[in-house]
Amino acid sequence: MSDIARYWDQQAPGFDDAPDHGLRDAAIRSAWASLLIPLMPLAPARIADLGCGTGSLATLLGEAGHMVSGIDVAASMVTRARVKAAAAGVNADFEIGDAMTPPWPRATFDVVLGRHVVWALPERALALGRWLKLLKPGGRLVLIEGRWWTGAGLTADELLAIVRAHGRRASVTPLRDADLWGGPVTDERYLLVSPPDRVV
């Protein structure tokens, strides 16, 4: 097991204790649903969730009728994602995999989703180039990232530059709503969507 996988495996048991990770609180869950579901095409869309963690977003989108495929480098995250999705009765599949080298054919997905994952990758531009190839024509990249008070993360300007360098149009929306995070935030948290226009 790589050091990266080992690190995230160790995070898995307590991962969902963070309000925005586990989405256990109805108001927080509702805030994420209100943010993400309108960004998706009509259900059932095919969605890739790279670095899916414990599967909270995959399950949320599965409950909205979408078909989500998730990968994560950490086996303990994948196990938890499978259990969560099965308990919710949603149509989702999860496998252990490296987001640097996604295991799917090109032009497979309507949406490629990643929350709090791009920042953790060793070669972000290379990874995003590969992620974009997973999209069907007209498909959409949806990323939630941040530059957190801890000093970790990447800024919206940094991520925009990478996405635009791949020839994509993109827009960024700050995510300051306390309901998304379980409390007020003062650091930089944002949504990046490419293309910005509504996908039908």
Residues at the contact surface with ligand SAM, assessed by CB under 6 A: 4, 8, 21, 51-53, 56-57, 71-74, 77, 98-100, 115-117, 120-121
Q: Quote the least distance from Cβ 35 to ligand SAM, whole Å.
A: 12
Shortest distance, position 1 Cβ to ligand SAM, whole Å: 12
* Strand 188-194 relative to strand 171-174, pairing: antiparallel
- Rounded CA separation 176/190 (Å): 8
Q: How far is the CB of 200 from ligand SAM (least distance, A)?
A: 26
The closest alpha carbon to 139, from 110, 167, 113, belongs to 110
Of 99 and 156, CB closest to ligand SAM: 99
Question: 59 or 194, CB closer to ligand SAM?
Answer: 59
Smallest distance from ligand SAM to CB 33, Å: 14
Residue nearest to ligand SAM (CB): 53
One-character DSSP codes across 23-84: --SHHHHHHHHHHHGGGS-SSSPEEEEET-TTSHHHHHHHHTT-EEEEEES-HHHHHHHHHH
37: left (phi over 0), alpha (psi -120 to 50) or beta: alpha
Q: Can you tell me the distance from the alpha carbon of 67 to that of 20, in angstroms, rounded to the nearest whole number?
A: 22
| Nearest to ligand SAM of 73, 142 (CB atom) | 73
Residue 72 vs 110, nearer CB to ligand SAM: 72
Q: How far apart are CA 173 and CA 38, in angstroms?
A: 14
**In the complex, what is the shortest distance from the CB of residue 184 to ligand SAM, in angstroms, rounded to a whole number?**
20
* For ligand SAM, the closer CB: 42 or 124: 124
Closest CB to ligand SAM among residues 42, 163 = 163
Q: Give the nearest distance from C-beta 45 to ligand SAM in angstroms.
A: 18
Encoding tokens for residue 90? 């949603």
